[in-house]
Amino acid sequence: MKRRHFLKTAGGAALLAGSSLSPALMDLYAFSGQGNLSTVEARYYKKHPDREIECELCPRFCKLGDKERGYCGVRENIGGTYYTLVYGKACSANIDPIEKKPLFHYLPGSSALSIATAGCNVNCKFCQNWEISQVRPEQVTHYDFPPQAVVQSAQKNSCPVIAYTYTEPIIFYEYMYDTSVEARKKGIKSVVITGGYINPEPLVELTKVVDAIKVDLKAFSE
């Protein structure tokens, strides 16, 4: 089996495996498929002449011409405006114990509504969720799950926490930020599980709307 074919089929299989959709959440999703991507303007980028842009979200500082995407694969320059393609497009959502994040001293014993989109801004060879982190959003099945629906789902399932996890939340920054703002209005906490590869300005702004950040460092041993 060729890698391309495997990735194509694994995207769907991932929804039934490590990136499955919790049955408790199914009724709140609207099927979006693989080609229906978002076109919400991204934050933290600089416009240059000739419809070029420079992303300022992470330290890669991707410089992109028209129709080009950043390293993460989920942010695209369209006509000189930078867009996030995964806003409200969750490819994985589950209800997990918060200790699975793992956070052991923050609301211990609680359940966390955990969400992710496709994509990542690093390429770790040992990534356990590579089926969704190392692909573009059109290569995996995703669902329309806007911020308000995420918060409603957390309320319905008695989850006091929303966790941005599984892939790299930094690359779906706008989605995470807006969901956290909506969650705070309802008294729901937000936690971020990240590799920490983000520039100072967006990080500072993010800390104003989330409640805990866990930098996930992996090595040769536990």
79 and 181 both lie in a single domain:
no
Sheet strands side by side (includes 189-194): 92-97, 111-116, 161-164, 189-194, 212-215
Mean pLDDT of 3-15: 39
Position 188 pLDDT exceeds 70: yes
50 and 122 both lie in a single domain:
no
Position 222 pLDDT exceeds 80: no
32 and 45 both lie in a single domain:
no
Do 75 and 171 meet the contact criterion of CB atoms below 8 Å apart? yes
Q: Mean pLDDT score of the chain, rounded to an integer? A: 88
Containing structural domain, residue 53 = 40-84
Q: What is the pLDDT of residues 122-142, one digit of tens each?
A: 999 889 999 999 999 999 998
Domain assignment present for residue 221? The answer is no
32 and 142 both lie in a single domain:
yes
Q: How many domains does the chain have?
A: 2
94 and 136 both lie in a single domain:
yes
**Pair of tokens at residue 37:** 């991507």
Under the banding of pLDDT at 50, 70 and 90, the label for residue 29 is low
pLDDT value for 218: 74
Domain assignment present for residue 129? The answer is yes
Mean pLDDT of 101-119: 95
Domain of 137: which CATH number? Answer: 3.20.20.70
Domain assignment present for residue 222? The answer is no
Domain assignment present for residue 194? The answer is yes
Position 147 pLDDT exceeds 90: yes
Q: Tokens 């950043």 label which residue?
A: 70
Domain assignment present for residue 70? The answer is yes
Domain assignment present for residue 220? The answer is no
Position 74 pLDDT exceeds 70: yes
Domain assignment present for residue 139? The answer is yes
52 and 148 both lie in a single domain:
no
125 and 151 both lie in a single domain:
yes
Report how far residue 36's alpha carbon sits from residue 205's, in angstroms, rounded to the nearest whole number: 29
Domain assignment present for residue 104? The answer is yes
Under the banding of pLDDT at 50, 70 and 90, the label for residue 32 is low
